[in-house]
Structure formats: structure tokens, C-alpha cells
């Protein structure tokens, strides 16, 4: 079965030299495969060797892995030169390992980590010259309660010619931290990598460590995790719609979407103890839904569906909303594909990619969920797609809760999961389609089953560049709504 998970023995993977690896990668991209991630780590032997891993998604099949062994400081021909979708991964590879992709058009640090911490001020921004060109710099601290990031606009009058995004302010060293703690006790750490997507991260983590410890979970546990994830998606989409309404002063939207999100996150809290779904999922188990909670959720979600439809109709009919969002911040289908955008922002530009459909795993294979797209790629499309995804997710959860086919009341807890050894010399790639898109987690173990590497990747990492493209030729005053319509994660990027 196609599963959002790939587990293999690293000894069975072919390891190429870096130039051959790059050529094989370019070939796969030429063949239309999508690059899911590409990263490196210093080898455990510490001999200055670097192991590079790339994961591709061939159309309609399972995942493919390419590996390379490289020497410190080695050069190779950049994939980005012909395939812009590799740009952020090659920048990160260079920043983290020092490997140099020759011909990369813009080798800028992703998050100013390691030796580059606190050296952001030294960075030379792009400069556009001309008598009427001016620059506007905003951040890292912004007007609202929002995470920090710096945006440097190069403008011709009111019009944005280019936006350079500088992130890294939230860098806390999450990946390194995950290697210092017991691998079966990482759930709470993974949940705080990107706290608004705690369920997506926790599920991907649980899938990975369950695969690496040969732990089977029941189908009921997967159903509970699916309910948790779709509730997180509904809550996050409502938060974004709230923000979009606020940013265009559509006041009734602000109040109503805010209230509706509160109802969803409070329902999550009643199930798992936390408004953000923290603690709901753990390796080998998920918190159960009692009969009383099942009826409670049916009522809460049913009422929400009705009220969401009401405010959606109002918002979509308002001339002031149409005037601000239609045709604003357009990302064409081709741009989205070229840049390797993923998740909701890709689907809003007509790119039909959704982990839940392409790699559904046991749960979504048995309980399919409609994956939706919009064609226009503008702020309006990203707004409407969120509205439609909320409807689909609520209907999906309600169908499961109503048909009573699964015993959801059991809280499956196997204490021995906590001490199970990880399979040695294994590589595990785990994907979960969170509210923003695919959360990718790659775990690699060594000879003794110890974790050698824990790669976390938020969909925001690649999608930030989509925002930079979206604002080109738009008035700078439309940046806030473009930014909110993407609603990307800063901490998920910075880690």
C-alpha cells in the first residue's frame, strides 16, 4: 500500500559520489519528479565526510531516495541552476555542511545558524539601483503579535519590484536538540518545533518511531490521529481567515472566525487537555474519544459547519473583500511548480498535490478525503480554498464520528514502547499533510540504533519564496494580505 512512510536499510542504499548524485537528481527532476527534501549531515566517523540524502516523489508512486558521500568543502553543479525548486535545500545544505553548489544564483543562509548566529547585520541584501528605486525594510519585530522575520522591499514608487525575505530569528536548534534526548520521548519536543501544527508534527514523529521500533498501532489509533489532524487543519484555516478579515477591516469576519476557532480548539482541549492538540498523540497511542466526547464533537462540529457557511457566504459576497483579494498576490501554476511550492498554496495555484491523496497510508486509503484546488493563485483563491478545506475536513470527521464504526474510547498505551530500541542502520522518511502542507521528517539511525540525524522540514521552508514572487508588481500596501494569505511558519522555517 502507498504509505506516507518509507523505511529502508541504509546499507542497501547506493551511495554515489557527489557529482553523480547531482546528475541523478537532475535526471529525476527532468523526468518531472518532485524534490521533497535534500539535506546533509556530517558522518559519524567524523573524518570530514558528509552524507547527503535527497528524497523524490515520482508521480503516482512511492518515494525514492538518493544518497551521496562527499568530502568537506566539495563543490558540485547546483541543481538550482536548472531547477529552482532545489534552491532552498541547496542553500540549507551549504549552510549546514559547507558543500558548495556551483552556479546557485543566491547562496544565502536560510536561518543564520552555527557560526553565523547574530551575524545577520553583515548580510548584503540585494540592491536595485535607479533614481526612483527605494527600499523599505520591516521587521524582525512587526506591528502585530506575530513571529519575527525581516522583509526588505525594493520598490518603484508604490510598486514592489522584489521582496527579499530574511528569516532565522526563531532559530533555537531544534534538530540538534532532538538528538540529545531519548528518541521515544521526543513528542513534546517535536510539538514545539512549530506549535501551531503540533498534531501534524507529532503524527509524523509517531509514524517514524513506530516504524523504527516495529510497533503496530491499531486502526482506531490512526482514526483518532486523523480526527486530531483535521481539527487542527480546521482551527488553523479559521485562524488565517480571521487574520485575512482583520487585515482588510472586515470586522464581522474577525469576530466570527475568531469565535468559531475558539469553539474548535476548546473541543480539542476537552479531548486531549490542550487547545493546540498537544499530548493527544504519543508513540503507540492516541488519547481516546469517550461516548460523551463523541456526541460533544458531533454537536460542536455540526454547529460550526453551519456558522462557518454563514460567515463564508457573507465574506465572499462583500464587494470590499472582492476588491482587495481578487487578482492580488498571484502565483501562477507554472511558478508554483517551478519553485516546488507545496501544500495549500500550491493547490491554490492549481497544482494538485496533497499527501493525503498521493500517499494516503492506511487511514486516508480507507477513509478518503477530497483534495481540492483553486485555479487563480491569488489571495482570493487561497482564502476560498481554506473555506472549502474546512468544509471537507469537518464533513470527514463527522462522517467518522457518526457511523460509529470504530471503538474510539480506548486510550491505547503500551508502556514498553518507551524503551523499545530503534532498528539500527535505518533511514525513515515520514510525511504528514498538515494545515500548511507536507511536514517531512527524516530519521537516520546508526549501528547501535542511536539517532544519527533528525531532519525536520516544514512546508513553509520552500513556500516562503512563493510569497516573494506573489508580491512582485503589487502595491506594497497589499503585502500584509499577501503574507496572511500564505500564513507561513517562521519557527517551522527557523527550527
Cβ atoms of 373 and 385 closer than 8 Å: yes
Could you tell me the three cell numbers for 246?
A: 482583520
Cβ atoms of 380 and 316 closer than 8 Å: no
Q: Is 454 helix (H, G, I), strand (E, B) or coil?
A: strand
Instruction: For residue 350, give Cα distances in angstroms to 56, 200, 334.
Output: 21, 23, 9
The answer to whether 30 contacts another protein (rule: CB under 8 A) is: no
Which of these ranges, 29-37, 311-319, 429-437, 465-473, lies near another protein under the rule CB under 8 A? Answer: 311-319
The answer to whether 322 contacts another protein (rule: CB under 8 A) is: no
Report in angstroms how near the CB of residue 345 gets to another protein at its nearest: 18
The answer to whether 112 contacts another protein (rule: CB under 8 A) is: yes
Task: Indicate the burial class of 318 (C-beta count within 10 angstroms; 0-12, 13-18, 19 or more).
Answer: middle
Grid cell 504509505 — which residue? 3
The answer to whether 181 contacts another protein (rule: CB under 8 A) is: yes
The answer to whether 266 contacts another protein (rule: CB under 8 A) is: yes
Report in angstroms how near the CB of residue 293 gets to another protein at its nearest: 9
Exactly one of 193, 321, 469, 481 binds another protein (CB under 8 A); that residue is 193
The answer to whether 410 contacts another protein (rule: CB under 8 A) is: no
The backbone torsions φ and ψ at residue 157, rounded to the nearest 5 degrees and listed phi first, read 65, -130
How many chain residues interact with another protein (CB under 8 A)? 72
| Contacts (CB under 8 A) with another protein, residues 472-491 | 489-491
Q: How far is CA 91 from the centre of its chain?
A: 18
The backbone torsions φ and ψ at residue 279, rounded to the nearest 5 degrees and listed phi first, read 85, -5
Contacts (Cβ under 8 Å, ≥6 apart) of 148? 139, 140, 141, 142, 169, 170, 490
The H or E element spanning position 345 is helix 343-347
Exactly one of 307, 338, 370, 391 binds another protein (CB under 8 A); that residue is 307
d(CA 347, CA 354): 8
Report in angstroms how near the CB of residue 286 gets to another protein at its nearest: 12
Exactly one of 194, 217, 422, 470 binds another protein (CB under 8 A); that residue is 194
The answer to whether 441 contacts another protein (rule: CB under 8 A) is: no
Exactly one of 60, 124, 130, 182 binds another protein (CB under 8 A); that residue is 182
79 vs 202 by CB, closer to another protein: 202
Exactly one of 318, 395, 410, 468 binds another protein (CB under 8 A); that residue is 318
DSSP state of 475: B
Provide the mask over 136-175, with x wherever binding to another protein is found by CB under 8 A and - wherever it is not.
----xx-xxxxxx-------------------xxxxxx--
Amino acid at each position: 500500500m502507498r504509505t506516507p512512510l518509507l523505511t529502508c536499510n541504509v546499507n542497501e542504499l547506493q551511495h554515489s559520489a557527489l557529482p553523480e548524485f547531482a546528475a541523478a537528481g537532475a535526471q529525476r527532476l527532468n523526468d518531472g519528479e518532485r524534490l521533497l527534501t535534500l539535506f546533509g549531515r556530517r558522518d559519524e566517523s567524523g573524518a570530514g565526510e558528509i552524507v547527503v540524502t535527497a528524497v523524490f516523489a515520482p508521480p503516482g508512486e512511492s518515494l525514492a531516495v538518493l544518497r551521496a558521500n562527499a568530502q568537506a568543502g566539495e563543490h558540485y553543479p547546483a541543481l538550482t541552476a536548472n531547477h529552482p525548486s532545489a534552491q532552498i535545500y541547496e542553500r540549507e545544505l551549504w549552510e549546514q555542511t559547507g558543500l558548495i553548489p556551483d552556479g546557485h544564483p543566491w547562496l544565502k543562509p536560510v536561518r543564520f545558524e552555527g557560526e553565523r548566529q547574530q551575524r545577520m547585520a553583515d548580510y548584503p541584501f540585494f540592491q536595485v539601483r535607479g533614481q526612483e528605486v527605494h527600499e523599505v525594510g520591516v521587521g524582525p519585530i512587526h506591528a502585530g503579535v506575530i513571529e519575527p522575520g525581516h522583509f526588505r522591499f525594493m520598490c518603484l514608487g508604490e510598486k514592489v519590484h522584489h521582496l527579499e525575505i530574511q528569516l532565522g530569528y526563531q532559530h533555537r536548534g531544534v534538530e540538534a536538540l532532538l538528538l540529545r534526548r531519548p528518541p521515544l520521548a521526543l513528542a513534546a519536543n517535536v510539538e514545539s518545533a512549530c506549535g501551531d501544527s503540533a498534531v501534524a508534527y507529532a503524527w509524523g514523529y509517531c509514524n517514524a518511531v513506530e516504524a523504527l521500533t516495529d510497533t503496530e498501532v491499531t486502526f482506531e489509533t490512526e482514526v483518532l490521529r486523523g480526527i486530531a489532524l483535521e481539527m487542527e487543519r480546521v482551527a488553523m484555516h479559521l485562524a488565517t481567515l480571521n487574520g485575512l478579515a482583520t487585515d482588510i477591516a472586515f470586522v464581522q469576519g474577525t469576530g466570527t472566525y475568531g469565535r468559531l476557532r475558539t469553539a474548535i480548539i476548546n473541543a480539542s482541549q476537552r479531548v486531549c487537555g490542550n487547545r493546540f492538540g498537544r499530548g493527544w498523540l504519543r508513540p503507540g497511542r492516541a488519547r481516546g474519544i469517550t461516548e460523551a466526547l463523541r456526541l460533544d464533537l458531533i454537536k460542536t462540529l455540526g454547529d460550526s459547519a453551519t456558522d462557518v457557511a454563514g460567515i463564508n457566504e457573507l465574506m465572499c459576497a462583500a464587494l470590499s473583500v472582492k476588491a482587495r483579494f481578487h487578482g492580488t498576490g498571484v502565483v501562477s501554476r507554472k511558478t508554483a511548480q517551478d519553485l516546488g511550492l507545496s501544500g495549500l498554496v500550491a493547490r491554490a495555484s492549481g497544482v494538485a498535490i496533497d499527501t493525503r491523496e498521493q500517499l494516503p497510508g492506511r487511514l486516508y486509503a480507507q477513509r478518503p478525503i477530497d483534495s481540492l484546488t483553486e485555479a487563480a493563485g491569488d489571495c482570493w483563491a487561497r482564502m476560498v480554498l481554506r473555506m472549502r478545506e474546512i468544509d471537507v475536513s469537518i464533513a470527514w470527521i463527522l462522517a467518522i464520528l457518526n457511523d460509529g464504526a470504530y471503538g474510539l474510547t480506548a486510550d491505547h498505551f503500551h508502556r514498553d514502547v518507551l524503551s523499545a530500541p530503534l532498528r539500527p542502520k535505518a533511514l525513515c522518511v515520514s510525511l504528514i499533510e498538515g494545515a500548511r502542507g507536507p511536514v517531512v521528517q527524516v530519521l537516520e539511525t546508526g549501528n547501535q540504533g542511536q539517532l544519527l540525524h533528525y531532519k525536520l522540514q516544514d512546508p513553509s521552508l520552500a513556500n516562503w519564496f512563493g510569497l516573494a514572487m506573489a508580491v512582485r508588481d503589487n502595491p506594497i500596501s497589499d503585502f500584509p494580505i499577501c503574507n496572511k494569505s500564505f500564513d507561513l511558519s517562521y519557527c517551522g522555517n527557523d527550527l
